[in-house]
């Protein structure tokens, strides 16, 4: 009886040890995030810069969550999980192609700065290493598009995310912050969180103040 008990205990211990060794360890990293609404499509945007990581991290394994409440009481946000995520509000459409925001830029990524972005730039298709930049600018056409810029009385020069002039006029920042993001003015704060999906570990979270 004692021998059987010892054998069972050894098997259970070995099984538990195997489970522990198979558990994935979450990567770590340092990141910087900047959100700008200066009243123009060219100067505004959402940017995350990777300063350092414990190991390369595939964006397929990172969920981006944004949430905010603007000074005027409007609230919003988005959840981005890469190509497998929902298409509505989390893709950037340009021409006849669909792009996953935020786009990737860096020496290790095959990228272009505008136009029909390359597939390597789509969120979920690139890796986070030091020097990687995740970015989207809003799409602009004229100040008659609605919304506002640095204050509620300043008409801005990019789409409000609800009325588009052409197929290209889909707002890449809307894909990251939500369709009402243009209510954010300088001083408002956006909670930005990066979660490592396999382990459920939050690897970055910050309340980012909007700049003008």
Enter the tokens of residue 211. Answer: 């700049």
pLDDT computed for residue 24 by the predictor: 82
Cα–Cα distance measured from residue 181 to residue 149, given in angstroms and rounded to the nearest whole number: 11
pLDDT computed for residue 89 by the predictor: 38
pTM exceeds 0.85 for this model: no
Enter the tokens of residue 103. Answer: 């786009």
**Mean pLDDT per 10-residue segment, the chain (212 residues):** 49 47 84 93 92 97 97 94 50 56 94 84 93 90 64 70 46 84 93 98 98 94
- Angle (CA) 178-86-76 rounded to 5° is 20
Query: Looking up tokens 């200066």, which residue turns up?
Result: 38
Among 184, 160, 161, which Cα is nearest to 66's? 184
| Residues 137/42, Cβ–Cβ less than 8 Å | yes
Return the number of other C-beta atoms located less than 10 Å from residue 85's C-beta: 18
Classify 176 as helix, strand or coil.
helix
pLDDT, tens only, 26-81 = 999 999 999 999 888 888 999 999 999 999 999 999 999 999 999 999 999 999 98
pLDDT computed for residue 164 by the predictor: 39
Among 158, 156, 155, 184, which Cα is nearest to 169's? 158
Enter the tokens of residue 88. Answer: 């509505």
Expressed in angstroms, the distance from the first to the final Cα of the chain is: 75
Q: Which residues of 26-44 are buried (b: 16+ CB within 10 A; e: fewer)?
A: bbebebebebbbbbbbebb
Q: Around 8, how many Cα atoms within 13 Å sit in the side-chain half-sphere?
A: 5
């Amino acid at each position: 009886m004692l021998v059987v008990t010892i054998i069972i205990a050894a098997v259970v211990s070995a099984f538990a040890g195997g489970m522990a060794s198979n558990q994935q360890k979450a990567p770590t990293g340092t990141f910087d995030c900047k959100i700008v609404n200066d009243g123009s499509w060219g100067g505004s945007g959402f940017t995350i810069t990777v300063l350092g990581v414990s190991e390369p991290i595939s964006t397929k394994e990172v969920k981006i969550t944004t949430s905010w409440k603007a000074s005027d009481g409007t609230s919003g946000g988005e959840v981005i999980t890469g190509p497998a995520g929902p298409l509505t509000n989390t893709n950037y459409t340009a021409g006849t192609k669909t792009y996953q925001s935020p786009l990737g830029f860096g020496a290790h990524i095959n990228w272009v700065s505008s136009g029909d972005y390359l597939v390597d730039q789509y969120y979920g298709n690139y890796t986070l290493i030091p020097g990687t930049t995740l970015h989207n600018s809003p799409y602009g056409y004229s100040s008659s598009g609605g919304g506002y810029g640095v204050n509620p009385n300043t008409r801005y020069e990019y789409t409000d995310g609800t009325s588009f002039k052409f197929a290209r006029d889909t707002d890449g920042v809307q894909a990251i912050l939500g369709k009402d993001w243009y209510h954010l003015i300088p001083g408002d704060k956006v909670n930005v969180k990066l979660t490592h999906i396999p382990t459920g570990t939050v690897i970055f979270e910050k309340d980012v103040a909007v700049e003008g």
